[in-house]
Homo-oligomer: A and B are copies of this chain.
Amino acid sequence: MIAMKIGIVGLGLIGGSLGLEFVRQGHQVWGVSRQPDTCAEAISRQAVHFASTDLGSLAAVSLEMVFVCTPIPSVLPTISQLAVRLSPRATITDVASVKAPIVDAALQIWPDFIGGHPMAGTAEQGIQAAVLGLFQDRPYVITPTASTPTIAIERLQTLVTQLGSRLVLCQPAQHDQAVAWISHLPVMISASLIAACAQSADAETLRLAQQLASSGFRDTSRVGAGNPDLGVAMAQFNRDALLKTLSHYQNSLSDLIYMIEQERWAELQQRLLQTQQDRQHFMQS
């Protein structure tokens, strides 16, 4: 294995976990976080070899790969800041859960850019939550375009393979449509469940419901109580694809309500048999 010099900007759950893996693999890792405490934690946890609060410090190193692991709204501003500082041989990639709006703009700023999205996470956030093995056997989407340099694809593929992830290649827009269905839509569905209960159940029923809620409610409501900033960013950056899935979802829900209103029990039975079967195709990973 050829060791690379790797930069990681943003040392949260994803950035920190990438750092842990790359340090273990024998790469040299430079981390940047705005928070001095996060820098200290990243060093002490061996998620980085060097840490700095100053993005400009990366200019001093001849990096081959830089992972931008900031919140979605900061990805493009960060790439712009990196562009005036980095050695021109560096490839930049990101880990955002939306790709088209980032990839198109990023390629304008830095021609050696390749979009990425590791489909991994936990309920926790921050460098404290970073763990080895987070990406093992998980999908890692990379979205090269016609103008992506071969070297960028090769470098990222090499690192993704070392993480033990399942590499998935697709177009940025394809990625965004797929994650609208399986990631962004569930957040909105789930949040609406919590909101409907909290706002519309009468006080006595709500208190009893809170007492009785168990695994069914817990699972269905989980992603609706995730990081609000991330939820807003998903909606902002993947608005069109998300609205399309929400519209289909409304129709699907209306169908089902109609069956219940009209007491079409055989149809409802058929629908629930079908969903039981269809879900299995989503359970590969």
Tell me if A243 is interfacial: C-beta within 8 Å of chain B: yes
CB-CB under 8 A for A197 and B181, given A119-B212, A239-B260: yes
**How many monomers of this chain does the complex have?**
2
CB distance from A5 to the nearest CB of B (A): 30
> How many interface residues does A have (CB within 8 Å)?
97
Tell me if A80 is interfacial: C-beta within 8 Å of chain B: no
Q: Is the CB of A271 within 8 A of B205?
A: no
CB distance from A257 to the nearest CB of B (A): 5
Q: Is the CB of A228 within 8 A of B193?
A: no
Complex Cα gap A121–B236 (Å): 39
Map CB proximity to B onto A75-115 as digits: 1 under 8 Å, 0 otherwise. 00000000000000000000000000000000000000000
Tell me if A151 is interfacial: C-beta within 8 Å of chain B: no
Q: Is the CB of B276 within 8 A of A208?
A: no
Map CB proximity to B onto A159-202 as digits: 1 under 8 Å, 0 otherwise. 00000000010100011011101110111111111111111110
Which residues of A does B touch, CB under 8 Å?
Answer: 119-121, 138-139, 141, 168, 170, 174-175, 177-179, 181-183, 185-201, 204-206, 208-226, 228-229, 231-232, 235-236, 239, 242-243, 245-257, 260-261, 263, 265, 268-269, 271-276, 278-285
